[in-house]
Structure 1
Amino acid sequence: MTSPPRPANRHHKRPRGEGQWALGYREPLNKNEENKKNDDGLNVRQRIIDVYSKRGFDSIDPADLRGRFRWFGLYTQRKPGIDGGKTAILEPEELDDRYFMLRVRIDGGQLSLEQLRTIADIANRYARGTADVTDRQNIQLHWIEVESVPAIWEALEAVGLSTTEACGDTPRVMLGCPLAGIDSDEVIDATAQIDDTVARYIGDPAYSNLPRKFKSAMSGCPAHCTVHEINDIAFVGVVDERGEKGFDLWVGGGLSTNPMLAKRLGTFVRPEQVHEVWAGVIGIFRDYGYRRLRHRARIKFLINDWGAERFREVLEKEYLGYTLPDGPAPEPPRGGRRDHVGVHPQKDGNFYVGFAPKVGRLDGDKLNLIADIAERYGSNRVRTTVEQKMVVLDIAPDKVDGIVADLEAADLQVKPSTFRRQTMACTGIEFCKLAIVETKALASDLIDELERRLPGFTDPLTINVNGCPNSCARIQVADIGLKGQLVTDAGGNQVEGFQIHLGGSLGVNPGFGRKVRGLKATAAELPDYVERVLKNFQGQKNDGESFSEWVQRADDADLK
């Protein structure tokens, strides 16, 4: 008896047990896949309008409540008073509050003042004033009741916004540079590509049942502000040898508990091809992605197994029907920080003004105030950034000093300290059912304490605070990444604390943070710890050496 022939490429032929549709394996493999097979997530919208908003929280089918609601940006909040030690122990219905987080998708971070004011009014009317800018350019509201959702959608859609596929196993918000079209150094303006892709595919049932979430970025930013290295797909502006502007394609970045950097496919994508290349990549993910195990379902696992060459071959032969030319790699990121904070010239002679809300925390009144200040100084456009910051565009040279003064008076700092400028925090235990520790208030207090203790510290330094291992706040690529967990204090008590990652970075030398054996701190110890390690850095660094570079050569004792 002869053995069957071996497949030509073992990476392409994964076992059927991975649950890949393209290999004929479509049976439900876990509860999430079963729910999606039973009914597409997009169909829940009409039930929310016709049934749940009229009959209330208790009428919601559990499969909709903890599954399909996400297809329209809705997650149940964490019930107040449940400590982090119970996060992994309690059943979902025990953690669920009767209120929702609602995520407004802001593709490319682009907002008109009318849109900003609409979000502000929704926050004040339906969300107890809450409004946080996320590190994916969205704005998140809390305390939303299901009865209010149809009215919220009506208000958002009247100004061209939506919550469609803001969460769930879907193509989520498209990241874009907040300075697209105005930065004099930008390689290419990707606004049209973002708008075109969103219009064609968001809400399309052909792409609404993916193995897991799918994060996209399209940008020609010279500072690489959309962190292309850690997105599922990224189009990065380049210029080929003929002087033609287009995009370099990256696939398979992602952090969470198994971080991987994206892989360059080495292709040159012309602007008019972007939408179909995007659809081809997401089609591969839909058809070949691993659906059996949730923790292996992101596209990064597929391309890690196949390799970039094989992935490109399948994209071109099975999905595009044509070959993409080889193309150049992006130029290294422009020097300095990636966040667009401060006053900088636009290519039209006006200025943009970027400012730093504390760890992205705002509220409805503050959003209205931002709109009022922007309008007072002649702007009708604001932007959100992937660093939980905001930017006002189109300020005339003679009005710059005035808007800076008004923003600073509202504690929206245009010239913030390093700590205010570069500390990010996820939602944390205040609202998130996955969290183990508190984040927003802790990070805000940490900023205040570090500003007091280290007033002369001016080096770039990212401090990213996360409430659980899932890395929504990108802990592995921060200079100081803080992963929330319960730790034992000096008295033997279990308290909120953090595992510490040091020296992560993106850009010229991308890499994940170093974990020093046993390096943890309680929440109360954090200011002392960060002060100590930063003083060691200041005392030992070489000229021009960054914190992450110093960490790679520092002794463990100096990092503890």
Structure 2
Amino acid sequence: MPPSSAQPGKAPVAAKPRRTRGEGQWALGYREPLNKNEENKKNDDGLNVRDRIIDIYSKGGFDSIDPADLRGRFRWYGLYTQRAPGIDGGKTAVLEPEELDDRYFMLRVRIDGGRLSVAQLRAIAEISRDHGRDTADITDRQNVQYHWIRVEDVPAIWEKLESVGLSTTEACGDTPRVIMGCPLAGVAEDEVIDPTAQIQEIYDEHIGDPRFSNLPRKFKTSLSGCTSHCVNHEINDVAFVGVRNEAGEVGYDLFVGGGLSTNPMFARRLGTFVRPELVSEVWAGVCSIFRDYGFRRLRTRARIKFLIKEWGTERFREVLEKEYLGYELPDGPAPVLDPGVRRDHVGVHRQRDGRYYVGFAPKVGRVSGGSLLRVAEIAEEHGSDRIRTTPDQKLVILDIEEDRVDSIAAALESEGFEVRPSVFRRQTMACTGIEFCKLAIVETKDRAATLIEELERRLPDFEEPVTINVNGCPNSCARIQVADIGLKGQLVLNERGEQVEGFQIHLGGGMGLTQSFGRKIRGLKTTADDLPDYVERVLRRFQEQRKDDENFAAWAARADDSDLK
């Protein structure tokens, strides 16, 4: 939909002619698809595949699926074919998609704001048990992912999810993905603003709307009034961050254009103050700019961050206000950042109503249907109907009375969920990896779990909150560039000259006041087998060389290359 249809009678802001038509931007009149993905979307809206899954594919089985749906439109409902077993990382970029495909699917359940009731968590757990071989992963975007899903079972899974108010609609694809929100929304003692109503409004008004179901690529959103900034506004396509203006009014500061992958960029402030009642409308304006002006020719440049880089914030704000909103947004303050606050909400903490929340750590986000059923039972037994997922692959149970805190902590830890985890269990994340992901080059979940165990044994007294993020490929699903120690999976040569699984190392990344992408040192790599030795070595050097309360990122920025190897 061109912008003029969004605002009839509004003269579009003059656009620079330089190579814009060649980028396939709709607003400039170039609607002819420039690649296979764009052609596929033009041929049929991804939202239309739902009926075919229910009426045709679930009855005919895997072999009945049209390839254009299988590797394209299925994503609009959270479905990706998973990696066939036994294909090593060296073949990831060599084989054709159909050679990598298994006959089973990953299915992603979107959990907007990370909000779950006991009934919803129980439904998620039962689907894992009954249809997903008891697999479930909590992602760093607050979703839950299943594996081993058969297309024959998808309609029954949808029916169960929708019966408790959950969905897989636009959990993947070139769409507005899950809306991230602080798991403590409405209960945190120091919260600036509760974004729950705004998250729900965006979801109700825009998710599953054909106006936004054909974006150049994925579109990631976060809203939060959390003072620890747990939803990582710096790396989202659009982010609304809770602030209080000079008049004492609460609203949001607007950020646009964050993202990692192979071309990481931090989001940039537009300098506006967005009142709560305008959030959904402003969100739609930003998303519409991406739809209409976003680059569609090359998939590698089809994120809003590239548009922001080319336009700059001043022009983006001008187009938003004049062409899409029809009014000016007032200027506003920047959010207050604290470099010393952890963002994960793990542990036992007081709520504003005097009750407590309990945050706990599954190991690198890997759970099971059985373990999630126990979490639902434990929450219910302790009087809570509110469970939350976090952007760090953790879980939080809200509304625990003070005299039940010890009991719930003991119950969770008896199931392997640590309320007071080691720094390594608390601060380590891992993506799906080669076990299921067709893009991955190396295994991640088991490697990360082993690394945690080894570091707990070798460095039992280590307390500095050093983040360790493990990724199976260059795409940074596990946010390697903003970790203290970011590990990017690749094939490397061991000391015998054999090609084996390993990692390129990024050091000293971070967000907040210490915003920076991790430092890369030429040739700094490790084999997967040698990973615990490397991390132990660099952490011991940090302990030996740090000055006063210097954090790891500051030390890594000034350390000699030789000390980081």
TM range, normalised to the smaller chain? over 0.9
Deviations 1:229-278 (CA, angstroms, capped at 9, x unpaired): 00000000000000000000000000000000000000000000000000
Corresponding residue for residue 135 of structure 1: 140
Equivalent residue for 1:189, pick from 160, 176, 194:
194
| CA-CA distance at 1:544 after TM superposition | 1.4
Give me the whole-angstrom Cα distance separating, in 1, the residues matched to 2:370 and 2:325. 48
Structure 2 counterpart of 1:99, from 84, 97, 104: 104
The residue aligned with 1:41 is 46
- State the TM-score, normalized to the length of structure 1: 0.98
Amino acid aligned to 1:38 = N
- Tell whether the 8 Å contact from 1:340 to 1:354 is kept in structure 2 after alignment: yes
Q: Note if contact 1:223-1:337 (Cα within 8 Å) is conserved in structure 2.
A: yes
Q: Give the 3 Å change call, closer, same or farther, for CA 184–28 of structure 1 in structure 2.
A: same
Matched to 2:238, the amino acid is I
Structure 1's consecutive aligned runs of 4 or more residues displaced over 6 angstroms after TM superposition are 7-10
Aligned to 1:517: 522
Pairwise CA distance, 1:15: 2.4
Contact in 2 for aligned 1:12/1:310 (Cα 8 Å): no
Residue 414 (str. 1) matches residue 419 (str. 2): yes
Secondary structure of 1:508's counterpart equals helix
State the partner residue of 1:179.
184
Q: Counterparts of 2:184 and 2:499 in 1: how far apart (Å)?
A: 45
Letter in 1 for 2:139: T
Pick aligned residue for 1:438 from 425, 443, 453: 443
Partner of 2:64: 59
Do the aligned partners of 1:11 and 1:306 also contact (CA within 8 Å) in 2? no
Match of 2:393 in 1: 388
* 1:405 partnered with 2:407: no
Q: C-alpha offsets along residues 260-309 of structure 1, whole Å, 9 cap, x if unaligned? A: 00000000000000000000000000000000000000000001100000
Partner of 1:322: 327
* Contact 1:223-1:335 within 8 A present in 2 as well: no
Q: 2:534 maps to what in 1?
A: 529
Q: Is the 8 A contact 1:541 1:550 kept in 2?
A: yes
Number of aligned residue pairs: give it: 554
Matches within 5 A, 1:485-496: 485-496=490-501
Deviations 1:65-102 (A, max 9, x none): 00000000000000000000000000000000000000
Counterpart-to-counterpart distance in 2, 1:280 and 1:81: 45
Aligned to 1:208: 213
Deviations 1:149-195, CA, capped at 9 Å, x for gaps: 00000000000000000000000000000000000100000000000
Matched residue of 1:542: which SS?
A: coil
Residue of structure 2 aligned with 1:85, choices 63, 70, 90: 90
Report the CA distance shift for 1:196/1:308 in structure 2 as closer, same or farther (over 3 A): same
Q: Which of 511, 519, 522 in structure 2 is aligned with 1:506?
A: 511
271, 275, 279: which one pairs with 1:274? 279
Q: Which stretches in structure 1 are left out of the alignment for 5+ residues?
A: 1-6
Residue 9 (structure 1) shift:
7.1
Using the TM superposition, give the Cα deviation of residue 335 of structure 1 relative to its aligned residue in structure 2, in angstroms: 3.1
Instruction: Check conservation: 2:112, 2:178, Cα contact below 8 A.
Output: yes
Offset at residue 13 of structure 1 (A): 5.4
Residue 493 of structure 1 aligns with an amino acid whose one-letter code is E
Partner of 2:173 in structure 1?
168
**Residue pairs, 1:357-376, within 5 angstroms:** 357-376=362-381
> Paired residue for 1:26?
31
Q: What is the CA deviation profile of residues 412-444 of structure 1, one whole-angstrom value per residue up to 9, with x for unaligned ones?
A: 000001100010000000000000000000000
Q: Which amino acid aligns with 2:517?
A: F
Partner of 1:249: 254
Deviations 1:467-511 (A, max 9, x none): 000000000000000000000000110000000000000011201
2:130 to 113, 116, 125: 125
Q: Is contact 2:273–2:333 with CA below 8 Å preserved after alignment?
A: yes
- Give the SS at the match of 2:167: coil
The answer (yes or no) to whether the contact 1:11–1:305 under 8 Å persists in 2 is no
1:339 aligned to which of 344, 369, 375:
344
Let me know the Cα RMSD of the aligned residues. 1.1
Q: Deviation at 1:517?
A: 1.0
2:65 maps to amino acid: I
Q: Match for 2:270: what amino acid?
A: L
Aligned to 2:483: 478
Letter in 2 for 1:19: G
Tell whether 2:204 aligns with 1:199. Answer: yes
Q: Which residue of 2 aligns with 1:3?
A: none
Distance (whole Å) between structure 2 residues aligned to residue 160 and residue 377 of structure 1: 23
Task: State the AA in 2 paired with 1:431.
Answer: F
State the alpha-carbon separation in 2 of the partners of residues 201 and 333 from structure 1: 33
CA offset digits 1:332-358 (Å, max 9, x no partner): 137321000000000000000000000
Contact preservation (8 Å) 2:100, 2:438:
yes
- Alignment correspondent of 1:543: 548
Task: Tell me what 2:81 maps to.
Answer: 76
Supply the AA of the counterpart residue of 1:262: A
- Tell me, yes or no, if the aligned pair for 2:242 and 2:250 is still in contact at 8 Å: yes
CA distance change for structure 1 residues 225 and 461 in 2, over 3 Å: closer, same or farther? same
CA distance in 2, matches of 1:276, 1:334: 32
Shift of 1:320: 0.2
Per the alignment, in what secondary structure is the counterpart of residue 513 of structure 2?
A: coil
Who is 2:434 aligned against?
Answer: 429
Cα gap change, 1:128 to 1:8, in 2 (>3 Å)? closer
8 Å CA contact retained: 2:13, 2:322: no
Distance in 2, matches of 1:225 and 1:508, equals: 14
Cα distance in 2 for residues equivalent to 1:12 and 1:455: 60
Once the two structures are TM-superposed, the CA of residue 408 in structure 1 deviates from its matched residue by: 1.1
Matched letter for residue 282 of structure 1: C
Q: 2:363 aligned with 1:355, yes or no?
A: no
Distance 1:8 1:373, change over 3 A: closer
> Whole-Å Cα distance in 1 between the matches of residues 340 and 191 of structure 2?
14
Q: Secondary structure at the match of 1:44?
A: helix
Q: Say if 1:134 and 1:360, in contact at 8 Å, map to a contact too.
A: yes
> How many Å separate the matches in 1 of 2:500 and 2:174?
34
CA distance 1:205–1:77, change in 2 (3 Å): same
Answer yes or no: is the 8 Å Cα contact 1:223–1:334 preserved in 2.
no
- Which residue of 2 is the match for residue 263 of structure 1? 268
Residue in structure 1 matched with residue 559 of structure 2 by the alignment: 554
Structure-2-length-normalised TM-score = 0.97
